[in-house]
Amino acid sequence: MKTLKSTLALLVGALSSAPTLATNGYLAPGYGPVAKGMAGACVALVESAMCAAHNPATLLDLDTRWEIGASLFAPDRGFVADDDAATPSLTGPASVPPGHYDSRNKLFLIPHFAYNRKLDADTNLGIALGGNGGMNTDYDSAVWRNFAPPPGLFPGAETLQASSPTGVDLMQLFLGVSYGKRLNERHTLAIMPILALQSFEAKGLQPFRGVSVAPDKVTNNGQDWSWGGGARIGWLYKATDRLNIGASYQTRLWMTRFKDYEGLFAEGGDFDIPPVLDLGFAYDIDPAWTFSFNYQRIWYGDVKALSNPHDLPLGQPGSPLLGADDGLGFGWSNQNVYKFGVRWRFSPDLTLRAGYSHNDQVVPSSQALFNVLAPGVVRDHFALGLGQKLSATSDLNISLIYAPEAKVYGTNPNTGPQTGHLYMSQWDLEVGWVFRL
């Protein structure tokens, strides 16, 4: 137990200081190497304690165990501003200086931890700790420098000059403690209260201070913290000896406001985590082969900081101000995600996995401007994984996910006729160990 406590403390520290980046718009495609090896198709799969993050009801038929691991996440993201802008002026649209902007910080280490304890034949207690989602960009340039007035034009004009670097850093950590109960031989229910912690920092957004309800709370205020929570409810139905059907719903995670950035995010710095619904099944084709499917719905539209549009002229009479209830956001849409996975028990000691997922584009072409800060535009994930039994009480699991480059092209009234596009591609390698108690 002492080792378990020290491991948990180490992971909390690591997760609180490591950026997490997500790929289904705002959320990760899966949690832990078992789920990731099948592209996140885990809502009805009984195999991993980390799958509590998908459906806590799947834990009841697992043995008592703890799981630990980490992923090495390598995103390539940025944007291209085309050289077709009008001449910037104080009365007309500004422009982003033409060029190819590639974000720095290419490699991130993201650990995870899970624990499952059988209380008796019909109840269990689970713990899952991991990175829930986030975004990070770091451009070595003053991206918004053309949006600011010339220095000295009026008193205070120098405070609106964009600095370098430009970017945002959103980090998130969730801790879920689940309780599962078998209702009868076919139905299991579980509830998992969730505590969440997130931090945020923005740099280089000075020109937008002039269109904010709180100009001093827009940018370059260091790292700010927010905390809150909600719950996930899960159900597992053993329809037949071969077919499991699973469903889970995560409520909106209500978070405290980012007070140091209340002039940036809509509703005075509110940045909640959206509700998520997961539905799916796992079918054993034969003793060796299993096919699984997940449908996921993410309600980004419930969070104004994410969903409010920004294809509106800035600084015009009647235009919304940053930080107001109708303030500009990222313009993200609600998202549907489809996940397919297959598991092959090649031998008693070796399991092979593969998967594919596809999601709706969360960033409409009209919303490309602010999303240079968060170009979460990938749509496809291809996954491979394996599980190797090391001993009677331990396993090794490895997963590899590749998200090929996706692009979103667009224009914005604040940059006139200028065109451009966002892009992102990703690799994710995760290694995890299982220790049965």
CATH of the domain at 289: 2.40.160.60
Contact (CB, 8 A) for 177 and 125: yes
Residue range 288-322, pLDDT digits in tens: 999 999 999 999 999 999 999 888 887 777 788 89
Q: What is the DSSP string of 344-360?
A: EEEETTEEEEEEEEEE-
Q: How confident is the model at residue 18 (pLDDT cuts 50, 70, 90)?
A: very low
Mean pLDDT rounded to a whole number for the chain: 90
Q: How confident is the model at residue 11 (pLDDT cuts 50, 70, 90)?
A: very low
Residue range 141-155, pLDDT digits in tens: 999 998 888 777 778
Q: Output the pLDDT for position 168.
A: 94
| pLDDT, average across residues 71-97 | 80
Across 21-160, where does the E strand assignment appear?
65-81, 99-102, 108-120, 123-130, 135-136
**81 pLDDT higher than 60:** yes
Residue 101 belongs to what domain range? 2-436
Find, among 12, 21, 49, 73, the residue nearest to 400 by Cα: 73
Q: How confident is the model at residue 132 (pLDDT cuts 50, 70, 90)?
A: low
Question: Which DSSP category does 215 fall into?
Answer: G
Question: What are the residues facing 388 on neighbouring strands?
Answer: 350, 396
pTM of the model: 0.91
Tracing tokens 């008592």 back to the chain, one arrives at 64
Residue range 206-219, pLDDT digits in tens: 999 989 999 999 99
SS3 label, residue 269 = helix
Q: Output the pLDDT for position 92.
A: 58
Residue 347: other Cβ atoms inside 10 A:
11
**174 pLDDT higher than 60:** yes
Q: How far apart are CA 48 and CA 432, in angstroms?
A: 11
Among the ranges given (261-270, 326-335, 339-348), the one the predictor scored with the smallest mean pLDDT: 326-335
Contact (CB, 8 A) for 11 and 72: no
Q: For the chain, how many structural domains are there in total? A: 1
Q: How confident is the model at residue 12 (pLDDT cuts 50, 70, 90)?
A: very low
Question: What are the residues facing 347 on neighbouring strands?
Answer: 350
Name 327's Cβ contacts closer than 8 Å, sequence gap at least 6.
213, 265, 266, 267, 304, 308, 320, 321
Q: How confident is the model at residue 7 (pLDDT cuts 50, 70, 90)?
A: very low
Contact (CB, 8 A) for 54 and 31: yes
